[in-house]
Structure 1
Amino acid sequence: MPLWICSACQRPWPCPTRRWELLGEYAHAPGDLALLMASHLAAASEDLSWAAPATLHRRFFGWLA
């Protein structure tokens, strides 16, 4: 995942399909989903050090509502 691209659709991860899947998988544990995404955000921040922090934050958390 160093580039954080979906292997199925080649879109930035989490792509719309993966977001939908994650929401289903964590429907009864939204706090756990937030922790998972925080973990991914931390890793992505290292891998994508050139990306703006606000952009990464929107990418990993902007869809959680």
Structure 2
Amino acid sequence: MTGPQRRLAPAEVEHLPMRPLWLCRRCGQPWPCGAAKLALLAEYREVPVSLFLYLAGCLHDAIDDLHRLSPSVTGSATDMFDRFLGWPARHTRAYRVSTTGAADIEEAPS
């Protein structure tokens, strides 16, 4: 072989969940970790509703997995909700639904 031998770096592990523990495969923090949140925000930037749907599915799976491992350590519903669904609302243009009726909506001046 001519020239210097090039050493290939191992593929970087992405910040993905390690099931059934729901810890980050790369950094070991509870998933979604900070880096995973940034990656998810970038990936779903144009479709924030899809981000919420994806994370809702992850929340469901995490509750099921963690409860099977140890029912007493699953965590409170509030903590689990905040971990999976609380943070995106602060960082996306989350859609808000108004509870006002059509009669309460003012018409724009013509």
The normalised TM-score by structure 2 is 0.57
Per-residue deviation, residues 5-44 of structure 1 (Å, max 9, x unmatched): 0011000000000000000000000000000000000000
SS in 2 for 1:48: helix
C-alpha separation in 1, matches of 2:77 and 2:20? 16
For 2:44, the equivalent position in structure 1 comes to: 26
For 2:25, the equivalent position in structure 1 comes to: 7
Aligned alpha-carbon RMSD (Å): 0.8
1:36 aligns with 2:60: no
* Higher alpha-carbon Rg: 2
The alignment-based identity, stated in percent, is 40
Runs of 4+ in 1 over 6 A off after TM superposition: none
Spell out the pairing of 1:47-62 with structure 2 (5 A cutoff): 47-49=65-67, 50-62=74-86
**Larger proportion of helix:** 1
Deviates most, 32-41 or 45-54: 45-54
Between 1 and 2, higher relative CO (CA 8 Å, sep ≥ 6) is seen in: 1
Structure 1, gaps ≥5 residues long: none
The normalised TM-score by structure 1 is 0.94
